Amino acid sequence: MTKRGGEPGLIGSLWNAFTETNLWRSIIRQPYPNTSRTRALAVMNNVFLHLHPVRVKRHAVRYTYTFCLGGVSFFLFLVLTITGLYLMFFYIPSVDRAYQDILSIQNSVAFGSLIRNMHRWGAHLMVLTVFLHMIRVFYHGAYKPPREFNWAVGVFLLFCTLWLSFTGYLLPWDQIAFWAVTVGTRMAEYAPLISAESNFILLGNITVSQETLIRFYVMHVIAFPLLAAIFMVVHFWRIRKDGGISGPV
Ligand code: HEM
């Protein structure tokens, strides 16, 4: 920060003095990143940037190798979390209120219709992208050693995605939601040994009712988003530990 003549002004002098302090050095820990080494340091010393490796293989950043399907799934998860948070302000999981609340989100809440549609379409899209991501991983044989564990983590993430989609489906408490969940949970009755119990555990009752709504709501807004987030952290960490994205080199 210099004046036109080359001399620093008051603000420039204060700024230069600040960049000499210990406080500044404790925040910005490396010199200006203009060499290979200082660029690597800038990435490693930043909490957000360090999620990416300092160096990546050329094929791994080629769009057509992954189609960024895992990345898009993660992006959709973030969109769903933010839009879901907004919807929570206007939705009460009670059989007397739920359907009315959805109508008022659609018709009277500011940006309600937009946010609800982003949430609903985002959810459909996430099921699709996670599924396509799994097919891509399978096609590249990336489930083979050393990535078997990450494949298993992925299977759990697929289960979480489908379960989030299913539990969310009941929340509008309209006819299609009620009957879809009735049919879906009736299937659990065919599980061997624990048929009656599994149905009761899912519904909290013998039919779809208030107990089911609150159960699905808690699983939809807290339990499974949290589990999915924890497993995504493990998934991303494993990619790094397994030597980055699979590939020919
Ligand atoms: C919420 C769901 C998921 C998210 C957010 C996610 C995210 C990611 C991301 C960002 C990558 C880096 C490469 C890429 O973008 O393709 C990746 C890689 C990988 N994912 Fe997933 N994933 C999910 C579900 C799954 C599923 C369902 C499976 C398999 C059953 C799976 C197995 C793998 C494996 C094995 C890799 C390493 C691939 C390689 O090295 O080529 N993931 N995942």
Residue at 249 is within a domain: no
pLDDT, residue 53, reads 83
Query: CB under 6 Å to ligand 1: residues?
Result: 66, 68-71, 73-74, 77, 130, 133-134, 137, 140, 142-143, 147, 150-151, 154-155, 157-158, 161, 232, 235, 239, 245-246
Most confident of 55-64, 138-147, 194-203: 138-147
Q: What 8-state DSSP symbol labels residue 7?
A: S
Residue nearest to atom 1 of ligand 1 (CA): 157
Residue at 189 is within a domain: yes
Residue at 233 is within a domain: yes
Amino acid at 221: V
Cβ atoms 92, 101 nearer than 8 A: yes
Residue at 236 is within a domain: yes
Mean pLDDT over 192-220 rounds to 93
Task: Indicate the number of domains in the chain.
Answer: 1
CA distance 79 to 131: 18
Question: Per residue in 102-160, pLDDT tens?
Answer: 999 999 999 999 999 999 999 999 999 999 999 999 999 999 999 999 999 999 999 99
The structure tokens listed for 29 are: 């820990």
Residue 44 has pLDDT above 80, yes or no: yes
pLDDT, residue 130, reads 98
Question: Per residue in 148-193, pLDDT tens?
Answer: 999 999 999 999 999 999 999 999 999 999 999 999 999 988 988 8
Residue at 34 is within a domain: no
Q: The CATH number of the domain where 169 resides is what?
A: 1.20.810.10
Cβ atoms 175, 182 nearer than 8 A: no
Tell me the best of 67, 235, 238 to mutate to test the pocket of ligand 1, counting ligand atoms within 8 Å of each CB and taking the most. Answer: 235
Residue 1 has pLDDT above 80, yes or no: no
Residue 239 has pLDDT above 90, yes or no: yes
Nearest alpha-carbon partner for 81 in 237, 234, 226: 226
Residue nearest to atom 20 of ligand 1 (CA): 154
Tell me the best of 62, 67, 133 to mutate to test the pocket of ligand 1, counting ligand atoms within 8 Å of each CB and taking the most. Answer: 133
Find the domain containing 230 and state its range. 62-241
Q: Is 66 left (phi over 0), alpha (psi -120 to 50) or beta?
A: alpha
- Coil, helix or strand for 57? coil
Residue at 205 is within a domain: yes
Q: Which atom of ligand 1 is nearest to the CA of 147?
A: 35
Residue nearest to atom 28 of ligand 1 (CA): 154
Residue at 94 is within a domain: yes
Residue at 21 is within a domain: no
Q: What 8-state DSSP symbol labels residue 59?
A: G
